[in-house]
Structure formats: C-alpha cells, structure tokens
Amino acid sequence: MIANIKTVGVVGAGQMGCGIAHVVALAGFDVLLHDANAERLPAVLAEIERNLGRQVRRGTISDSDASAAMDRIQTTGDLRSLAPVDLVIESALEDEEVKRGIFAALCYIVRPDCVIATNTSSIAITRLGAAVQKPERFVGIHFMNPVPMMALVEVIPGVATAADTVRTATAFVTRLGKTPAVAQDFPAFMVNRILAPMLNEAIYALHEGVGTVEAIDKAMRLGANHPMGPLELADFIGLDICLSNLQVLYESLADPKYRPCPLLVKYVEAGWLGAKSGRGFYDYSTDPPTPLPAA
C-alpha cells in the first residue's frame, strides 16, 4: 500500500471529476484527469481555470496558487496513461455496470499497490470492490458537491477493504484540507441517506400542491435556516442523481419512505435535470433563475 501519495488519477471529467481534480491539484498533488471523450478535455481545463479564478477573486487563494494548480493537471483520453498513479478516483456516471467496467480495466493498468477509489454517492462499495483484483485496496471516497466549497468527504470501506487503505484514504482527504468522516457500507452512506428523502419530500409537497417552488424553498431557507431551498438544491445536484440515489435506497431497503416522487421521475424522463440541463424546478435561461409551476 502506498502511504505517500504523490500522483492522483481521476476517471471522469464531469462536474464532480472536475471539482476533484481542482482540489487535489490545489493541495499539491500531480493530477492525471481522464475522460473517455478526449475532445471535451480542453473545455474541462478551462472550467477548472475559471473556478480557480473565482477563488482568487474571493481572496481564498493567490494567483500563484491557481497557476501552480493548473500546472499540476494533465489530461488524457487513454485510460492506460494512469499506469503510474498512486491513487485513482473513479467519478464516472452513477451506473454500476459502467463503474465495474472501469475498475476491471484499471486492475490491468495500475500498479498492484495503487489505491483504487470510487466517488459513488450511493452504490455499495463491497459490490463494486468485487470487480477489483485485491479488493483490500478498494475504498469509497465520496466528495460533496461543489467539491471546492464543501468541507466533508465520506470515506467508506467495503467488507474486504484493508485498514491500511482506510488510513491512507483518510490521510489523503485530510491533506486536501477536507474533513473525513468514515461511513459504513450501507445504501447511500450517511449524507445522501438523510438528504435524499428530504429532497424527495419537498418534491412531494410540490406535487401535492402544498406549496409552490418559491414558497417551499423560502420556507426551508427561513424556517430551517438552510442556505439553499430543497428544490433549488435538487436542481443543483441534478435531478437524475437525486432519482438514482432514491432508487438505490428504495431497492436496497424496500422501505416505502424512499419511493421516488412521480413528479421527479417525470422530470428526469423529460430531460429536465436541473441547472445542468437549463430546466428543472427553475428555469435557468433567466438571471436569477425563475421558479416554475409543477408540470
């Protein structure tokens, strides 16, 4: 097991993978960012540079910090390029078969002592680890969204994960300036197990006409002191991700309290996924976004 991690691979350059590469490079690690669609990688680098620039303008990092972080990030469309990394973090689609395929391929690419981690928000670590040779080196490292701003990272061992792997993952998270919290391998872990049904209940409240989008979000911001309303937060996370988390909980625990609201299912089927698609519970073609009536 590699105790002194220097080079980190990130598989998947979506919103989460982009954020993970950002914070890992800012913490002084060399990063190799992979995406199967190599053509989009220049745009991903530009997005990371913009996000670092926002931190510079807020005064949380210096220009030299941002420049050094960008210099540490390299991109690739070839998974085989990850052969020399000390730790690889998968952040691909929240699809079990896709993830298992990535892990099976990585086992033939990375060194035997490389730590293999997943950023899954809900899929069982033990089950994913079954696709890995030497599953004792496999662990969940679940970042919160947006990665640069959120302090917590869940570290989740599977039943075969070695104690050394958990210690290595926890130490790595700490070096990022984040706070690790070790969760057991239960469906959706800690944060999403609590958050997903709260968001679902807000969607049910909208679906049943208890309140409008604007009223529900205002009620939770002012009545529960939440920084974002639950429908605004669901849009930010992605309604497809919210649905996926609820489906995992519902199927794994067979508890009706996790049954996805039909309105959420309808929006995902329509391609209304929230901020990333331009429409969800809000219309993102306006500034600020406009709350919409339930469809």
- 138-183 pLDDT, tens digit per residue, is 999 999 999 999 999 999 999 999 999 999 999 999 999 999 999 9
Does residue 229 contact residue 218 with C-beta atoms inside 8 Å? Answer: yes
CATH of region 192-290, choose from 1.20.120.640, 3.40.50.1000, 3.30.450.20, 1.10.1040.10: 1.10.1040.10
- Active-site amino acid positions: 121, 142, 154, 192
Q: What is the pLDDT of residues 53-110, one digit of tens each?
A: 999 999 999 999 999 999 999 999 999 999 999 999 999 988 899 999 999 999 999 9
What is the rounded CA–CA span in Å between residue 65 and residue 68? 5
CA atoms within 13 A on the CB side of 215: 8
- pLDDT for position 173: 98
Give the distance, in angstroms, between the CA of residue 184 and the centroid of all CA atoms in the same chain. Answer: 18
- The CATH topology of domain 7-182 is Rossmann fold (3.40.50)
Instruction: Copy the structure tokens of residue 183.
Output: 């969760």
Q: What percent of the chain has pLDDT over 90?
A: 93
Which tokens is 148 given?
């640069």
Domain layout of the chain by residue ranges: 7-182, 192-290
Average pLDDT, the chain: 96
H-run or E-run covering 96: helix 96-106
pLDDT tens digits along 199-237: 999 999 999 999 999 999 999 999 999 999 999 999 999
Tell me, yes or no, if the two domains 7-182 and 192-290 fold the same way.
no
- Give the relative orientation of helices 63-72 and 41-58 as an angle to the nearest 10 degrees: 160
Band of the pLDDT at 4, cuts 50, 70, 90? confident
- Label residue 2 by pLDDT band (50, 70, 90): low
Tokens (6 digits) for 283: 């219309």
Give the side-chain half-sphere CA count within 13 A for 247: 14
The beta strand positions in the chain, using DSSP E, are 7-11, 30-34, 73-76, 87-90, 115-118, 138-143, 152-157, 179-182, 282-283, 290-291
Distances (CA, A) of 170 to 17, 152, 154, 174: 19, 11, 9, 6
Q: What are the tens digits of pLDDT across the range 109-143? A: 999 999 999 999 989 999 999 999 899 999 999 99
